[in-house]
Amino acid sequence: MPLDVLEYLDQPGRRFPLHAVLHGFDAEEGGVRTVEDVLLEGEAFVQLSTLYVDVEIEARIVQPCGRCLTTVESLFRLRESFTLPIPPQAASVDVRPLVVQLALSAHDPNVLCRPDCRGLCPICGRDLNLDPQHRHAPEDRDRRRLGDFLGS
Ligand SMILES: [Zn+2]
Ligand SMILES: [Zn+2]
């Protein structure tokens, strides 16, 4: 999101209220986690070609549960102060990449859909939350291996 800094540049040192919403999402490498709807609320000012931002960031992150891969959506807040250089002649500064990076690094990458998530069956991949009694008899497992071997 390009933040218009012309007004800031006109009055160095003056703190302006900052309120912005970043829409859409940015996928992390591999596309596993996405950051959606980031809300910025705080203040910003310019001093010596540097943009100073002091904001509360509210971000919604969507990612798979670390055990069963169900999509987990988490909303969290963090307070951040950061600076960005303002290139000569620039009328705006893009705060988005940094904000997304801050949100991702502050967020636990190993979320669970619930603390006692049972995960997936290591043999057949069935979701054990839906079927807690699910089990494989030992001979079942052997038969499956033999089946794989015969290509059936
Ligand atoms: Zn889970
Ligand atoms: Zn199974």
Share of the chain residues as helix, strand and coil, in percent rounded to the nearest 5 = 20, 40, 40
Distance 77 CA to ligand 1 centre (A): 23
pLDDT higher for 96 or 147? 96
Reported as a pLDDT band with limits 50, 70 and 90, residue 14 is: very high
Ligand nearest to the CA of 111: 1
Reported as a pLDDT band with limits 50, 70 and 90, residue 34 is: confident
Reported as a pLDDT band with limits 50, 70 and 90, residue 42 is: very high
Residue of 131, 107, 109, 108 whose CA lies nearest to 119: 131
Distance 119 CA to ligand 2 centre (A): 11
pLDDT of residue 143: 61
Residue 61 structure tokens:
């992150």
**Cα 123 to Cα 141: distance, rounded to the nearest angstrom:** 8
Reported as a pLDDT band with limits 50, 70 and 90, residue 44 is: very high
Q: Name the β-bridge partners of 35.
A: 26, 61
Distance 72 CA to ligand 2 centre (A): 23
**Residue range 34-52: mean pLDDT, rounded:** 92
Q: Is the pLDDT of residue 23 over 80?
A: no
Q: Is the pLDDT of residue 67 over 60?
A: yes
**Cα 34 to Cα 26: distance, rounded to the nearest angstrom:** 6
pLDDT of residue 148: 66
Distance 22 CA to ligand 1 centre (A): 28
Q: Tally Cβ neighbours within 10 Å of residue 99.
A: 23
- Decide: residue 100, CB within 10 A, 0-12 exposed, 13-18 middle, 19+ buried: buried
Q: Is the pTM of this model over 0.85?
A: no
Distance 73 CA to ligand 1 centre (A): 12
Break the chain into its structural domains and give their ranges: 2-117, 118-152
Distance 95 CA to ligand 2 centre (A): 47
Distance 127 CA to ligand 1 centre (A): 9
pLDDT of residue 31: 55
pLDDT of residue 53: 96
